[in-house]
């Protein structure tokens, strides 16, 4: 439970917005910022946002609902929302628990998420929901490998 980030107190109802301001959210954060983290799944490693969790009913879109774009991938359980104008990720419905949402801590008004310092990285690569699927895919995908003799030959020709 984090009630202050840098100089900014986290309000019981804190505003959040995308970069261009088209999308404005209000988040009920009675316990402050809960469980801030990064994730290393194929999407999060690209977007790089620090996220935190809120229950579904704590997230209120007060402006820009029509600007929000939905992106889904893989099992298409999680719903990732971003501003269709500036492209900033604002929030998503979680895959591990669809009653929960995560939001972009960097979108919170007057919050610099880097004031949090190091945050945990959750293991999105080995998501529980992927495990069965991954196991069935690993066997056929395991065959392509680098031929070591080829790699050495390439190094020699370069040097």
CB closer to Zn ion, 1 vs 70: 70
Please pick, from the candidates 16, 18, 25, 51, the single residue that binds Zn ion as defined by CB under 5 A.
18
Q: Which of 118, 138, 152 is nearest to 36 (CA)?
A: 118
What character string, x for contact with Zn ion (CB under 5 A) and - otherwise, covers 75-104? Answer: --------x-xx------------------
Give least dist CB 105 to Zn ion, A. 17
19 to 38, contacts with Zn ion by CB under 5 A?
A: 20, 22
Q: Which of 96, 91, 111, 122 is nearest to 2 (CA)?
A: 111
CB closer to Zn ion, 53 vs 85: 85
> Is 27 in contact with 54 (CB distance < 8 Å)?
yes
Which residue in this structure is represented by tokens 């009630």?
3
95 to 154, contacts with Zn ion by CB under 5 A?
A: none
Give least dist CB 83 to Zn ion, A. 3
> Is 120 in contact with 53 (CB distance < 8 Å)?
no
> Is 105 in contact with 113 (CB distance < 8 Å)?
yes
Q: Which residues bind Zn ion (CB under 5 A)?
A: 18, 20, 22, 83, 85-86
């Amino acid at each position: 439970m984090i009630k202050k980030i840098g100089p900014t107190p986290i309000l019981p109802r804190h505003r959040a917005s995308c970069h261009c301001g088209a999308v404005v959210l209000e988040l009920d954060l009675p316990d402050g910022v809960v469980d801030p983290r990064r994730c290393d799944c194929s999407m999060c490693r690209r977007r790089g946002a620090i996220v935190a969790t809120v229950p579904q009913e704590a997230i209120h879109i007060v402006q820009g609902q029509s600007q929000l774009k939905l992106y889904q991938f893989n099992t298409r359980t999680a719903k990732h929302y971003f501003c269709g104008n500036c492209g900033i990720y604002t929030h998503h419905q979680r895959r591990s628990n669809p009653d929960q949402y995560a939001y972009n801590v960097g979108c919170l008004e007057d919050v610099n998420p880097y004031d949090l310092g190091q945050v945990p990285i959750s293991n999105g690569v080995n998501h529980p929901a992927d495990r069965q699927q991954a196991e069935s895919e690993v066997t056929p995908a395991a065959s392509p490998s680098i031929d070591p003799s080829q790699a050495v030959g390439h190094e020699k020709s370069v040097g």
